[in-house]
Chain A
Amino acid sequence: MKKRWHWLIAMLAVMSLVAAACATDEGVSTTTAAETTETTAAETTETTAAETTETTAAEMDLSGTTVTVFGSESSDEEAGAMQDALDVFAEANGMTIVFTGARDFSDQINAQAAGGNPPDIAIIPQPGKVADFAREGFILPLPDDVLATLEENWDSAWVAFGNVDGVQYGVNNKSDIKSLVWYSPSAFADNGYTIPESWDALKALSAQMVADGNIPWCIGIESGGATGWPFTDWIEDLTLRFEGADYYDQWVAHDIPFSDPAMVAIWEEVLAEWNAPGNVFAIDGSIAATAFGANGQPLADGTCMMHRQASFFSAFLPEGTPTGPDGISVFYFPAGPNGEKPVLGGGTLATAFRDAPEVWAVMQYYASAEYANERQKAQQIRKDGELSGFLSANQNQDLSNYLPLEQEMISIMLDAEVLRFDGSDLMPAAVGAGTFWTEGTSAVNGDKSVADAVAAIDASWP
């Protein structure tokens, strides 16, 4: 009896359980796809997916609504331009759109989705993650009108990146092109070099350069914990050229192992080009010691003639380096033996986590040409006349917004006969962001033979 109030606590505990009994019907019926309660998640998703088809964003009154967008663009230029482009749409509709960029976006979006606190829209850089999220029920399929806008503006090859098991989840946002060689047209002209049209011509050109006393390539693959990734881009580009898209797809899915003889041959082809005496600015096996971003300086000052890197490389050129015909320019990384012109691409995809008219309206805006135009304009202002670093493969955008060099890149993208996404982004992280990089680095360093390196990658495939 002395402990009367102990009973009170016990009572409260019991009652709290009861009080809460079966609150589920009320509590769970929010329309968020990422509802966390594991038991009810599947059903929730299905219902929302069905409902989405009926919403027609364009006719809705969006004023007063707020949409949150989360992405990997975090620097002032990229994130700022993204926000500027979104503000144009937000102001026109009297709504608020808030973009947040974070450096560890890839891990964070996982935590936010699994933790039940997802943004309304996430800009995801890996199609593999879009597929995972779609299968997990975190993200919603596009309603018809958004899909229509997307298909109207984007080539089906690009649209396919956001397609999971026949259902469209992603809206293309940014497009990167990786099959580029950076060079100085004036240096080429001075030496009488012409742009090679095939891999063999490229090899002959580099041999010619060595014979002329020039250094053909700037190559460096150091990138901290991601050291080795530029090597994987070379492998992917050559795989597309030598073995074709079907082989590439099977290889990315690991239906064809890394130890496949054709794959080993590609590795050796790359290493032969890299290790040929005098071929590379990073002399004597120091490729792995050379930061990938450190290639801008020697290319700009003419120490080396060529550098194969994706479209974003312009940002690594020294400040004030002119681009275009009178400065540093690009040519298409040449075709393979069969003459087909494949392009290795990349990019980001917008995906929706909440089913609401305002969210779909923003998604539709992402699919439109207006977004590409506004983003390009905003980013160029922020870059102060330098290359914007933002490319879109949107077919209906106004290309005149771009600087000439970036127009050229876009035309390479749009002309692509075969388009494939960066393979290491599609592989499981243990390989695509792990052993493919590290074993590639070992092979480049000569620490391991190609045979040992590819065997180690195969062994690490989960």
Chain B
Amino acid sequence: MTATTTAGRRPLGPRIYGFLRSIPTWVLWILVVLWTIPTFGLLVNSLRTRDAQRTSGWWLAWQDGANGFDFPTLQNYEAVLGAEATGGLANGLLNSASIAIVATIIPIAIAAFAAYAFAWIDFRGREWLFIGTIALLAVPTQVSLIPLLQAYSSGVRMTIPIIEKTVTIIPDMGLAGTIPAVWLTHTGFALPFAIFLLHNYIAGLPKDLFESARIDGADHFKIFWKLVVPLSIPVLAAFAIFQFLWTWNDYLIALTMIGGNRVALPATVVVASLAGEFGLREHLLTAGAFVITVVPLVVFFALQRFFVRGITAGSVKG
């Protein structure tokens, strides 16, 4: 610790020593570079033609011109942005935005109410209800897809055992194939993790805050609105990032719930379908992946400052 602080011209030994002591910093940047190489390669390849991608590695892109290929070329981006199959990319991006915004805000609100109730309203069976809710994190959500699709497309019916009469609990509302079906599904699937995360945080808020508020005559709704929400902005933003990333990048749930209604399909489905059969046009995925990554990145950078503080209080004070 002391060797590096000596002022003036240092002899060779300490200089080597200081150099080697900085290994941890290199390790950081080596890791960062390693983590970025794959994405960087994608970026370079997205600017190359199909045959160029096939015949040489992206680090040789600078030779493309000599090999008779265009580089850099925007033709992949043009093809992606001009895609018309599966509803087109502009339409897909709109649908993605619609899905991700609503499926981020509504679960956060619902989970915040529930987390508050689990943390600060006393009632019988609270602990077990909470454990039961969190245990549902373990459900592989794919199993819910077909029953939910059935419910959206033809309602929910149940046969009462003894009298053998079929009862319609939820009528057929024609939700299948629409974006609201995706909202509802994402909302339900997000709740266990959202409640888990928010509850950690909200339960860790100082108790005296609530007591003094109650003495002032505030009811639960007021406490929640005036006290809990402002104090929880960090964790709400943190969850918002995760949920936005997941819903924006989701492919399976949206495709299953929307199916053959192509005007409602999100951008991930549009881009995936560009590849075509046998991966014929797979080179277009390079550009497509970048186009759909832009939005979540913007969201990440916008919410990042909340994010860091957010998770902290929740997970550390547990």
Give me the interface of A with B, judged by CB distance under 8 Å.
Answer: 16-17, 20-24, 27, 35-37, 39, 68-70, 72-80, 83, 98-104, 108, 111-112, 114-119, 223-224, 293-294, 297, 312, 315-316, 318-319
Contact = CB atoms under 8 A, between A and B. Distances in A.
19 contacts: A17-B160, A23-B167, A23-B168, A36-B154, A72-B277, A75-B85, A76-B79, A79-B85, A98-B260, A100-B259, A101-B273, A102-B255, A103-B269, A112-B149, A112-B259, A114-B149, A115-B152, A297-B51, A315-B278
B165 interface: yes
Nearest to A23: B168
B86 interface: yes
Given A112-B149, A116-B150, A297 B273 contact: no
A281 to B, nearest CB: 14
Given A24-B166, A74-B277, A116 B176 contact: yes
Ordered nearest first, which 6 A-B pairs have the shortest CB separation? A115-B149, A75-B276, A74-B273, A70-B260, A79-B85, A100-B262
Contact of A37 (B83, B157, B176, B273): B157
A132 B218 CA distance: 62
A74 B261 contact: no
B89 to A, nearest CB: 11
A319 B51 contact: yes
Contact of B54 (A83, A104, A116, A297): A297
A100 B154 contact: no
B260 A74 contact: no
Contacts of B259: 70, 100, 108, 111-112, 117-119
Nearest to A310: B278
A83 B259 CA distance: 17
A79 B154 contact: no
Given A23-B167, A79-B85, A297-B55, A115 B273 contact: no
Q: Which of A35, A78, A116 has the most CB of B within 10 A?
A: A116
A128 to B, nearest CB: 18
B275 A103 contact: yes
B274 interface: yes
Given A23-B167, A37-B154, A101-B85, 7 more contacts: A27-B168, A73-B276, A76-B83, A79-B86, A111-B149, A115-B148, A315-B278
A24 B154 CA distance: 11
Given A23-B167, A27-B171, A116-B176, A111 B145 contact: yes
B42 interface: no
Nearest to A121: B260
B150 A21 contact: no
Interface residues of B, number: 50
A77 B86 CA distance: 12
Interface in B35-63: 49-51, 54-55
B256 A74 contact: no
A308 to B, nearest CB: 16
Contacts of A117: 149, 152-153, 176-177, 259
A187 to B, nearest CB: 20
Contacts, number: 159
Given A119-B260, A312-B277, A319-B50, A74 B149 contact: no
Interface string B237-261: 0000000000000000001100111
A100 B275 contact: no
Nearest to B160: A17
B265 interface: yes
B22 interface: no
A223 B278 CA distance: 8
A293 B279 contact: yes
B280 interface: yes
B146 A115 contact: yes
B149 A315 contact: no
A80 B281 CA distance: 14
B114 interface: no
Interface string B166-188: 11110110001100000000000
Given A297-B51, A315-B280, A23 B166 contact: yes
A80 B149 CA distance: 28
B94 to A, nearest CB: 17
Which secondary structure characterizes the binding site on chain A? mixed
Nearest to B142: A111
Contacts of A316: 280
Given A17-B160, A68-B261, A116 B154 contact: yes
Contacts of A73: 276-277
A27 B172 contact: yes
B157 A24 contact: yes
Contacts of B168: 20, 23-24, 27
Nearest to A73: B277
A115 B145 contact: yes
A116 B171 CA distance: 14
Contacts of A315: 278, 280
A224 B282 CA distance: 12
A22 B166 CA distance: 5
B276 A77 contact: yes
Nearest to A313: B278
Contact of A102 (B84, B86, B154): B86
Nearest to B83: A76
A161 B240 CA distance: 50
A114 B146 contact: yes
A131 to B, nearest CB: 21
Contacts of B277: 72-75, 78, 312
Contact of A68 (B146, B255, B260, B281): B260
Nearest to A98: B262
B188 to A, nearest CB: 16
B159 interface: yes
Interface in B284-311: none
A20 B49 CA distance: 60
A37 B169 CA distance: 13
B155 interface: yes
A103 B272 contact: yes
B85 A108 contact: no
B231 to A, nearest CB: 32
A297 B55 CA distance: 9
Contact of B274 (A16, A23, A76, A112): A76
A98 B87 CA distance: 10
Contacts of A27: 154-155, 157, 168, 171-172
A108 B275 contact: no
Given A114-B146, A318-B51, A80 B153 contact: no
Contacts of A76: 79, 83-85, 274, 281
A316 B160 CA distance: 58
A36 B55 contact: no
Nearest to A82: B85
Contacts of A318: 51
